[in-house]
Chain A
Amino acid sequence: MPPVADAVVLSRQFDDAEQQRSAADLGIWIFLATEILFFGVLFAAYAIMRIRYPEAFAVASRLTSVSLGSINTGVLLTSSLTMALAVRATKLGARKASIALLSATLALGIVFLAIKGTEYYLDYRDHLVPALNFSHPGPQAGQVEIFFYMYFFMTGVHSLHMIAGICLVGVMIAMAARRAFSTAYYTPVELSGMYWHLVDVVWIFLYPLLYLVSRS
């Protein structure tokens, strides 16, 4: 470790940098716990609707694009890797590497959204968007529509979180470029990373629930 030469931005309410950093750590985890319950409502609604309409959910899930969904999962998992490496680089004081890795994360995030947008377009083309142009042949139309309502709601809220994450990462890149971080002070990058990973965790659960209900 290089000696801590850089000044830590210490807020007046804290006694030392360690207290400040551990407060931030605890704060972000509590925030993430609220995010889990925020998404949790959708998972609960999904579970109850799926138990109620198992066949319709199986039919509907087959209408999603499993290839794009799987690729997107890979993209997001990879972005988590670059994010984790970016945090590590920032902690080590490797500014250029950190900027590069953050930029990669940002790019992968945009790729994810682009693929998601493509899927939305395909769904629109196939008349699968509830309230907009939904139509499905056969007697289960209403129940299939419920699946797609959940699908758009869950992925939509997730995408909003992705957009927020991308903005955060953008700010981190700008801050890193301004040399705002040091080996002693990197809390913003770390917290952005935590947020990014949690959004990834949410997707890890969305993926099998939306794309893989009944492929066999």
Chain B
Amino acid sequence: MTTAAMPVPRPYLDAGFSLWSWLSSVDHKRIAILYAVSITLFFFIGGAAATVIRMELITPAGDLVSAETYNKLFTMHGVIMVWFFLIPSIPSTLGNFLVPLMIGARDLAFPRLNLASWYLYILGGLFTVGALIAGGVDTGWTFYTPFSTMFSNTHVIAAAAGVFIVGFSSILTGLNFIVTIHKMRAPGMTWFRLPLFIWSMYASSIIFVLATPVLAMTLFLIAIERFFGVGVFDPALGGDPLLFQHLFWFYSHPAVYVMILPAMGVASEIITCFARKAVFAYRSMAFAVLAIAVVGFLVWGHHMFVSGQSIYAGTVFSILTFIVAIPSAIKVFNWTATLYKGRISFHAPMLYTLGFIGLFTIGGMTGLFLASLALDMHLHDTYFVVAHFHYIMVGGAVMAFLGGIHFWWPKITGRMYSDSWARFAAILVFFGFNLTFFPQFILGYLGMPRRYHEYPPEFQVLNVLSSAGASILAIGYLLPLCYLFWSLRYGARAGPNPWRAKGLEWQTSSPPPTENFGATPVVTEAPYAYADAAGG
């Protein structure tokens, strides 16, 4: 498939050891590490907020923190998890690391822009953390008007500025990926030889560049309206709060697909590797991610069925939402079919991925409950919605992110971690997750609204179950931190291809040299040419 490995060149990790050698590096692999460290930090800040929220909800009375604090906690949990962890998670770490490696390029098309993206991310993070330290924000991550413009007394503008800035980080990353995938593919790497992970990065990048500017300008409008007291979102000024919701969800619904599409890409890579068999129906998998990215732009109004939106618009958005579910369903069926007649082994990445499929299926199916107009009248803004999107974002995106980290960890660091600990963590996360969020479906159907600091006492048992699950989940998330760090020093040397996987990234040394490949690889075959399974 490619030229034979050269004498092992110097790994990218050894290209410099000073802090500055990292902060000034334009190597996509080092920037990926910068992102990995920063998003992990933000994940644990957001997780800390979630911990306090779940502790508060153990009792029906609002006795642990005040209502103001609680509102600020769920706002910071949402803002940080959405913009500073989930959206950048897979694209900025695994994507940054793997896109050039998988297509056989030396780097992204615009390496300095890539570094600038990271600095923008950090700058946005500083604004947001600054808003947190200065006293917090209590609007919810959705910044609904006129509450955010006229009624909240918290640091809305600073938080909005942070999100505005981090938006440009996303835009530049997406731009970089699109150009790289178009222009930097190795000879022979045709569009239909691209790994599905690359397809998912491409689809996510489309969303990054076309949706994020809308959010940026909308937040700008919020800031101006709040600061000057004139605007188009406040009915008291003659504006319309639903206009804000349209603009916000035009971005924020596709943003959900930015979280799940990369996860689908990761799952496809891992399943095919550990089933030792090509992905079932490769082309329809590739078209499915593109279809999700495009149709995903047409469904935002399903967040507004009970908002006072016209019922006709609601109908249109409802049917479009059913349509966007079809490519997702196809992907689930195709993953399952990929297992058929494979030679399946169950290393930690595979366990995470199988968990991902299950949880994503539940998350996706419950999304259809919510897309049904009459049912959404009951379920909207209840814990059913909270459970649904956590199944997608945490059960889906975070499971796949962890699976991907475990899968490519030997490539990124050159070391193997303890597979038994990792499998234990995967199982722990799966059970902890379900215990946390499944009771919330029931709470939602019972009618418990989201963002409630206190609640009627008959909901307590289910909330206690959920909080208990959250503590298991927390351990499940802390474990990988321990054994992965441990592996950096004590792990066995991985070698170039510990999983005997296909794909260009496995053909170079682990960790790869700064230039990725000794010589530009030439691709001559379709992806996932796993030969083991065929022929019995």
The short answer to whether A and B are in direct contact, CB under 8 Å, is yes
Chain A residues engaging chain B, CB cutoff 8 angstroms: 11-15, 19, 22-23, 26-27, 30-31, 33-35, 37-42, 44-45, 48-49, 52-53, 130-131, 134, 142-143, 145-146, 149-150, 153, 157
> When the two chains form the complex, which single residue of A23, A45, A130, A143 contacts B243, counting CB atoms closer than 8 Å?
A45
Inter-chain CA distance A12–B107, complex, in Å, is 8
Chain B residues lying within 8 Å of A48, measured Cβ to Cβ, are: 232, 240, 243
Give B94-127 interface residues, CB cut-off 8 Å to A. Answer: 100, 105-111
Give B55-104 interface residues, CB cut-off 8 Å to A. Answer: 100
> When the two chains form the complex, which single residue of B111, B180, B212, B232 contacts A45, counting CB atoms closer than 8 Å?
B232
> When the two chains form the complex, which single residue of A26, A31, A35, A39 contacts B182, counting CB atoms closer than 8 Å?
A26
Give B240-281 interface residues, CB cut-off 8 Å to A. Answer: 240, 243, 246-247
Cβ-defined contact, B238 with A19, below 8 A: no
Chain A residues lying within 8 Å of B182, measured Cβ to Cβ, are: 23, 26
CB distance from B383 to the nearest CB of A (A): 32
- Asked whether B183 is an interface residue with its Cβ less than 8 Å from the other chain, the reply is yes
Cβ-defined contact, B213 with A38, below 8 A: yes
- Asked whether B520 is an interface residue with its Cβ less than 8 Å from the other chain, the reply is yes
Cβ-defined contact, B179 with A30, below 8 A: yes
Chain A residues lying within 8 Å of B107, measured Cβ to Cβ, are: 12-13
Inter-chain CA distance A19–B221, complex, in Å, is 39
Cβ-defined contact, B184 with A19, below 8 A: yes
Chain B residues engaging chain A, CB cutoff 8 angstroms: 100, 105-111, 171, 174-176, 178-180, 182-184, 209-214, 216-218, 221, 224, 228-232, 237-240, 243, 246-247, 515, 520
> When the two chains form the complex, which single residue of B100, B110, B212 contacts A27, counting CB atoms closer than 8 Å?
B110
Chain B residues lying within 8 Å of A12, measured Cβ to Cβ, are: 106-107, 515
Known: A13-B106, A23-B109, A26-B183. A31 touches B243 (CB 8 A): no
> When the two chains form the complex, which single residue of B108, B183, B230, B247 contacts A131, counting CB atoms closer than 8 Å?
B230
Chain A residues lying within 8 Å of B231, measured Cβ to Cβ, are: 149
Q: Who on chain B is nearest to A48 by CB? A: B243
Q: Who on chain B is nearest to A145 by CB? A: B230
CB distance from B423 to the nearest CB of A (A): 38
CB distance from B24 to the nearest CB of A (A): 15
Cβ-defined contact, A142 with B237, below 8 A: yes
Q: Can you offer 24 A-B residue contacts whose CB atoms are under 8 A?
A: A13-B184, A23-B180, A23-B182, A26-B178, A27-B176, A27-B179, A30-B174, A30-B179, A30-B209, A34-B171, A34-B210, A34-B213, A35-B213, A37-B214, A39-B217, A41-B217, A45-B221, A48-B243, A131-B229, A142-B237, A145-B237, A146-B239, A149-B231, A157-B217
Question: Given A15-B520, A30-B179, 7 other A-B contacts at CB below 8 A?
Answer: A19-B184, A35-B213, A37-B213, A131-B229, A143-B238, A146-B238, A146-B239
Cβ-defined contact, A19 with B218, below 8 A: no
> When the two chains form the complex, which single residue of B210, B224, B228, B229 contacts A37, counting CB atoms closer than 8 Å?
B210
Inter-chain CA distance A134–B184, complex, in Å, is 54
Chain B residues lying within 8 Å of A26, measured Cβ to Cβ, are: 178-179, 182-183
Chain B residues lying within 8 Å of A38, measured Cβ to Cβ, are: 213-214, 216-217
> When the two chains form the complex, which single residue of A23, A39, A131, A150 contacts B232, counting CB atoms closer than 8 Å?
A150
Cβ-defined contact, A19 with B212, below 8 A: no
Q: Who on chain A is nearest to B520 by CB? A: A15
CB distance from A122 to the nearest CB of B (A): 19
Chain B residues lying within 8 Å of A13, measured Cβ to Cβ, are: 100, 105-109, 111, 184
Cβ-defined contact, A31 with B105, below 8 A: no
Known: A146-B237, A146-B239. A34 touches B109 (CB 8 A): no
Chain B residues lying within 8 Å of A44, measured Cβ to Cβ, are: 246-247
CB distance from B230 to the nearest CB of A (A): 4
Chain B residues lying within 8 Å of A15, measured Cβ to Cβ, are: 520
Q: Which 4 A-B pairs have the closest CB atoms?
A: A131-B228, A13-B107, A41-B217, A38-B213
Q: Who on chain B is nearest to A35 by CB? A: B213
Cβ-defined contact, A142 with B238, below 8 A: yes
CB distance from B185 to the nearest CB of A (A): 10
Known: A33-B210, A34-B213, A37-B213. A153 touches B110 (CB 8 A): no
CB distance from A152 to the nearest CB of B (A): 9
Inter-chain CA distance A40–B209, complex, in Å, is 13
CB distance from A173 to the nearest CB of B (A): 23
Chain A residues lying within 8 Å of B515, measured Cβ to Cβ, are: 12
CB distance from B304 to the nearest CB of A (A): 14
Chain B residues lying within 8 Å of A49, measured Cβ to Cβ, are: 232, 239
Cβ-defined contact, A153 with B243, below 8 A: no
Cβ-defined contact, A19 with B183, below 8 A: yes
CB distance from A93 to the nearest CB of B (A): 26
Chain B residues lying within 8 Å of A53, measured Cβ to Cβ, are: 238
Cβ-defined contact, B175 with A27, below 8 A: yes
Q: Who on chain B is nearest to A144 by CB? A: B238
Q: Who on chain B is nearest to A150 by CB? A: B232
Q: Who on chain A is nearest to B224 by CB? A: A153
Chain A residues lying within 8 Å of B176, measured Cβ to Cβ, are: 27
Inter-chain CA distance A39–B213, complex, in Å, is 8
CB distance from A31 to the nearest CB of B (A): 6
Chain A residues lying within 8 Å of B212, measured Cβ to Cβ, are: 34
Known: A12-B106, A13-B108, A149-B232. A34 touches B218 (CB 8 A): no
CB distance from A178 to the nearest CB of B (A): 20
Inter-chain CA distance A44–B233, complex, in Å, is 13
Cβ-defined contact, A31 with B217, below 8 A: no
CB distance from B248 to the nearest CB of A (A): 10
Chain B residues lying within 8 Å of A39, measured Cβ to Cβ, are: 217
Chain B residues lying within 8 Å of A35, measured Cβ to Cβ, are: 213
CB distance from A18 to the nearest CB of B (A): 10
Inter-chain CA distance A14–B111, complex, in Å, is 11
Q: Who on chain A is nearest to B515 by CB? A: A12
Chain B residues lying within 8 Å of A157, measured Cβ to Cβ, are: 217
Give the one of A30, A38, A42, A134 with max B CB within 10 A.
A30
CB distance from B209 to the nearest CB of A (A): 5
Cβ-defined contact, B209 with A33, below 8 A: yes
Chain B residues lying within 8 Å of A11, measured Cβ to Cβ, are: 111
Q: Who on chain A is nearest to B231 by CB? A: A149
Q: Who on chain B is nearest to A30 by CB? A: B175
CB distance from B499 to the nearest CB of A (A): 27
Known: A37-B210, A52-B240, A146-B238. A23 touches B179 (CB 8 A): yes
Chain B residues lying within 8 Å of A27, measured Cβ to Cβ, are: 109-110, 175-176, 179
Give the one of B107, B228, B238, B243 with max A CB within 10 A.
B238
